[in-house]
Amino acid sequence: MKLLVTGGLGFIGSNFILKIFSENKDISIINIDDQLFGSNSKNLTKIENSEKYEFIKGNITNNDFVSELVKKCDVVVNFAAESHVDRSISNSKPFIKSNIYGVFTILEAIRKFDKKLVHISTDEVFGSLENKSADENFRFNPSSPYSASKASAELLINSFNVTYGCDCLITRCTNNYGPRQFPEKLIPKTILYCNYNKKIPIYGTGKNVRDWIHVNDHCEAIFEVLKNGKKGSSYNISSDNEIDNKTIIKKILSIMKKPEDMIEYVKDRPGHDFRYSMDSSKIKNELGWSPKIGFDEGLEETVNWYLNNKEWWQKISQESLVPEWQK
């Protein structure tokens, strides 16, 4: 099987590729990535010389480029996206271009060459939920330009499934954590701020709740959907591990033996959803997937990875960790 992975130098994409290579000898991968914000070429140095791996720099909005590569593969796994919510608040145009038009470009090639697509989406399409958990049929209610662009892409994909009979599947996942995540996100940013002995900013009261899943568990779920998911279906991926941001930061402070007075409360983010939650019964019942990595175990492993791989992140300036809308 030959996979075309888009955005494979990013956090989840690179972990997916590494997992596929470590567990499957009969799969080859073409990885396309435009090496924009959040990508890191160091993520895949371990396999860059493999005969079954090829990296090609390029953008998914380039029609001819995407079409030529889709023609060569069996399945497209689309991780490529602008994914940093804070940046979508300060400038939403790149999110519309990549997350909507880029998906359209892939869909046109999928339709032309009769290929399969697994598209990676997000729990944020459902918006903030007070006390419910969204299943696959829950209505969309996106709150940020980022989540709106991802919801739009899903609607476009579903329209290609219905109108043209395309074989496209969608996975939605809760908050990921683990190695190789760009330090603008909460967990790696907190680790780096602790390392610099800087005050750790926390939005509002710190009580916003997310369901946290280790990236390796997410990647296993994606591969299970790729192999066995029903044509045209979507699958929610969650770990039933809802924790508020303040508790996450306190856990990291404890692991790194830092005082809790390093926490600094800052102005809340515009449109900051209070709670995300998804019901992942479908993928568990239909495909037999379930998460394996406990949060405390995975968090300590993640902290240690960043502390033991400082060369991976040391060139990232402290200034770049501050969201544009706060500057």
- The whole-number average pLDDT for the span 17-33 is 96
Q: Which domains does the chain have, with CATH numbers?
A: 2-176+213-237 (3.40.50.720), 178-210+241-268+294-319 (3.90.25.10)
The mean-pLDDT minimum among 6-15, 269-278, 303-312 falls in: 269-278
Q: How far apart are CA 218 and CA 213, in angstroms?
A: 7
Return the pLDDT at 317.
Answer: 52
The verdict on whether 123 is a catalytic residue reads yes
DSSP secondary structure string for all residues of 172-205: EE-EEESTT--TTSHHHHHHHHHHHT--EEEETT
- The whole-number average pLDDT for the span 193-202 is 94
pLDDT band per the 50, 70, 90 thresholds, residue 83 = confident
Return the pLDDT at 269.
Answer: 82
Give the residue among 66, 91, 46 at the shortest CA–CA distance from 5.
Answer: 66
pLDDT band per the 50, 70, 90 thresholds, residue 287 = very high
Phi/psi for 175 (5° steps) reads: -65, 125
Return the pLDDT at 176.
Answer: 97
The verdict on whether 217 is a catalytic residue reads no
The residue among 321 and 319 whose pLDDT is bigger is 321
Q: Are 266 and 203 in contact (CB under 8 A)?
A: yes
Q: Are 197 and 216 in contact (CB under 8 A)?
A: no
Return the pLDDT at 88.
Answer: 83
| Chain segment 174-185, per-residue pLDDT in tens | 999 999 999 889
Give the residue among 211, 15, 62, 33 at the shortest CA–CA distance from 132.
Answer: 211
The verdict on whether 146 is a catalytic residue reads yes
Phi/psi for 316 (5° steps) reads: -80, 120
Return the pLDDT at 322.
Answer: 58
Is the predicted pLDDT of residue 275 greater than 60, yes or no?
A: yes
Q: Give the position of tokens 């404890």.
A: 254
Return the pLDDT at 314.
Answer: 82
Average pLDDT over the chain reads 94
Q: Which of 33, 34, 124, 154 is catalytic?
A: 124
**Three-class DSSP category at 51:** coil
Return the pLDDT at 244.
Answer: 97
User: What residues contact 324, with CB distance under 8 A and at least 6 apart?
Assistant: 86, 87, 89, 90, 91
pLDDT band per the 50, 70, 90 thresholds, residue 323 = low
Q: How far apart are CA 256 and CA 265, in angstroms?
A: 20
Q: Which of 33, 34, 53, 146 is catalytic?
A: 146
Is the predicted pLDDT of residue 202 greater than 90, yes or no?
A: yes
Is the predicted pLDDT of residue 325 greater than 50, yes or no?
A: no
- The whole-number average pLDDT for the span 278-289 is 98
Return the pLDDT at 127.
Answer: 96
Q: Which residues sit opposite 37 in a β-bridge? A: none
pTM: 0.94
